[in-house]
Structure 1
Amino acid sequence: MKERITGQRFLAVTLLNVLITVVEIIGGLISGSLALLSDAFHNMGDSFSIILGYFAQQIGGRPETRKSTYGYRRSEILSALTNSLLLVIIAIFLIGKAIQRLSHPQHINGTIMMVVAIVGLVANFLSAALLHSGSHDNLNVKATYLHVLSDALSSVAVIIGGIILIFVNVPWLDPLLTIAVAIYIAYESLPIINQTIRILMQSSPDLDYEAIAKDLTSIDGVDAVHHVHAWMIDEHHIIFSAHLNCEDKPLSQIEQIYSQVEKLLREKYGICHITLQAECSRGKGEELFNTVADEREMINDHHINK
């Protein structure tokens, strides 16, 4: 079952990120470290993302209504997409600034850079611990959790850079660390962007449709399956509809077949919402998926025959 993160946890993580942002801005200005300043802006974006994630979770938990019969779960998918896109935008911005800094390197105070980064690392680990439990099965929380983890990683990189700069004057190291962290942030964000877009575009979930058809036709009274549609409301709720060719039976017996089909789809394939249409011979022999092109061809054939 999907665990929901409480408002107190979201508030705690937000306050920690605001604290990190203030400390890193001050530390970055004093030390001259672009890596610290970029991490500060990253944390500022995190604060926005955490707030957005919290409100999306609250909206997503609302029940279905007459105006929204599938509920509001897509709000969390939109939040996850927004947060992940924000991470990519931040990463591109940081890479641009780092390239500029490589052209005009400047002296960095490694000690201040290291101490401030340690404070940021501790705060980010606390935030990650607060969000960890809900990050496994919720794209919205996972995107927020990824924000925090990427900050922790960048803090580790800044700490290592600070230690090196204490002993060796390597002006190009600070922007190089910034570029490396930015690339990692973008790389980790792309899978979430891909998954959220697939859900919003109502792409088919990863199901074995041939196995489903085989299982359904093994039920007594079901001769064939066609006109299958499947999509997802969020990463956990699959919607499924299909036409079943059944023997010519009373409706009371067809309902018994429906019950068997629904039980199979729920228990074996994890489908939560199922719509079925029983037919005798209509559509029999059609493909499992009746695409728009197939439908247009059927309509044209019908007009020609007429």
Structure 2
Amino acid sequence: MSNPRIHKHTVEGKNLLFSILLNIVITTSQVVGGLLSGSLSLLSDALHNFSDVLSLVISYVAHKLSQRQATLKQTFGLKRAELIAAFVNALTLIVVALILIYEAILRFFNPVTIAPALVIWLSALGIVANGLSVLLLKKDADHNLNMKSAYLHLLTDMMASVAVLVGGLLMKYFQVYWVDNILTLGIAVYLIVVAFDLLKQSTHMLMLFTPNEVNIEEIIEEVHKISGCARLHHIHVWHLNEEELHLEAHLDCSHDMTLSQFNILLHKIEEVLYEKFSINHVNIQPEFKKEDPKDFIVQD
């Protein structure tokens, strides 16, 4: 049974679309500038921005798909599309980071002369454009894993652009060209760190693991306090998406009861689960002296 009290944050798809357009401009500018200047950190930033364009498009499409209504063939609709997008985006971040590490190591053995002026101006452009995109998506990122994946792409881009700007200034005024490679390695390592956390969260949800914030033993304890409940078993708790937390279980009732009596009992259970554990979708199978396993967790 669904609980109508689901507090949804309305994600603004138009902010994502605007960020896509900004990143296309940044990527094009940085590719041209990187080729003209010879800066690997600028090209690496452009590559990262290009991966952002792809990830933002994936996020935007997934956001639109997640809003589709349920059908006979898709009874949950496409609500999990955004989780898949977050998973894919996390993987792309890691792949991009590994490519950057490889290229930076090659440059240590094959150094090149870099024109710092273009590096400085284009990295400044990246800071402004990515900073604007980050501000647009910040609020959505706090409520949606898909938007968080897009936000992290943009945030790391902005930080990368800051690092590239610092490198450009050092190259211009102190001729320290090896700093370009060091900055590229630093950017790549940071990408791996933030992407791994996002990958772990999205995998956790896609695999239907029990959410970290949910303690099944506490759920059992609270439900057993309700008069009429003998034993809750065959329990599953999972995120359908970030806004919908589901519980499915069998309930061995303490006595034989009518359907109308069970409805009253079910309402009490729903109230407890929502108020104490934020579970907003509850599906309980009532039983009385049924011969089946009564373990809390049973592999169905």
**TM-score, reference length from structure 2:** 0.93
Name the SS of the counterpart of 1:228 in structure 2. Answer: strand
Residues 122-145 of structure 1: per-residue CA shift (max 9 Å, x gap): 111011111111000101110001
Find out whether 1:222 has 2:194 as its counterpart. Answer: no
Residues 251-301 of structure 1: per-residue CA shift (max 9 Å, x gap): 221221111111211222111221112222236883211236xxxxxxxxx
- Percent of matched pairs sharing the same residue: 36
CA separation in 1, counterparts of 2:275 and 2:195?
32
CA separation in 2, counterparts of 1:159 and 1:2?
39
Residue 127 of structure 2 corresponds to 121
**Letter of the 2:242 counterpart:** E
Q: Is the 8 A contact 1:39 1:151 kept in 2?
A: yes
Name the SS of the counterpart of 2:282 in structure 1. Answer: strand
Q: Is the 8 A contact 1:81 1:193 kept in 2?
A: yes
Q: Is the 8 A contact 1:226 1:284 kept in 2?
A: no
CA separation in 2, counterparts of 1:174 and 1:79?
32
CA separation in 2, counterparts of 1:248 and 1:27?
77
Residue 178 of structure 1 deviates from its aligned partner by 0.5
Counterpart among 133, 149, 167 of residue 173 in structure 2: 167
Name the SS of the counterpart of 1:277 in structure 2. Answer: strand
Residues 65-122 of structure 1: per-residue CA shift (max 9 Å, x gap): 2212222111001111111111111111111111111111112222221121111111
Call closer, same or farther: CA 1:202–1:283 in 2, change over 3 Å: farther
Find out whether 1:158 has 2:168 as its counterpart. Answer: no
Q: Is the 8 A contact 2:26 2:126 kept in 1?
A: yes
**TM-score, reference length from structure 1:** 0.91
Residue 275 of structure 1 corresponds to 283
Residue 63 of structure 1 deviates from its aligned partner by 2.0
Find out whether 1:141 has 2:185 as its counterpart. Answer: no
Residues 206-261 of structure 1: per-residue CA shift (max 9 Å, x gap): 31211111111111111221111122211221221111121122222122111111
Q: Is the 8 A contact 2:249 2:283 kept in 1?
A: yes
**Letter of the 1:252 counterpart:** S
Give matches, 1:71-150, under 5 Å. Answer: 71-150=77-156
Q: Is the 8 A contact 2:13 2:63 kept in 1?
A: no
Q: Is the 8 A contact 1:3 1:133 kept in 2?
A: no
Find out whether 1:210 has 2:217 as its counterpart. Answer: yes
Residues 129-185 of structure 1: per-residue CA shift (max 9 Å, x gap): 111110001011100011100100100101111111112222321111101101101
Give the unaligned 5+ runs of structure 1.
293-306
Q: Is the 8 A contact 2:20 2:56 kept in 1?
A: yes
**Letter of the 2:263 counterpart:** E
What is the aligned residue count? 292
CA separation in 2, counterparts of 1:4 and 1:252?
36
Find out whether 1:28 has 2:6 as its counterpart. Answer: no
Residue 4 of structure 2 corresponds to none
Find out whether 1:257 has 2:265 as its counterpart. Answer: yes
Residues 34-92 of structure 1: per-residue CA shift (max 9 Å, x gap): 00011111111111111111111011011222212222111001111111111111111
Q: Is the 8 A contact 2:127 2:161 kept in 1?
A: yes
**Letter of the 2:286 counterpart:** A
CA separation in 1, counterparts of 2:296 and 2:11?
40
**Letter of the 1:234 counterpart:** N
Residue 60 of structure 1 corresponds to 66
Larger radius of gyration: 1
Q: Is the 8 A contact 2:244 2:280 kept in 1?
A: yes
Give the unaligned 5+ runs of structure 2.
1-6
CA separation in 1, counterparts of 2:201 and 2:73?
26
Name the SS of the counterpart of 1:231 in structure 2. Answer: strand
Counterpart among 195, 199, 202 of residue 205 in structure 2: 199
CA separation in 1, counterparts of 2:158 and 2:293?
57
Q: Is the 8 A contact 1:78 1:196 kept in 2?
A: yes
CA separation in 1, counterparts of 2:230 and 2:67?
40
Counterpart among 226, 233, 238 of residue 231 in structure 1: 238
Residue 303 of structure 1 corresponds to none
Name the SS of the counterpart of 1:3 in structure 2. Answer: coil
Q: Is the 8 A contact 1:224 1:284 kept in 2?
A: no
Call closer, same or farther: CA 1:142–1:219 in 2, change over 3 Å: same
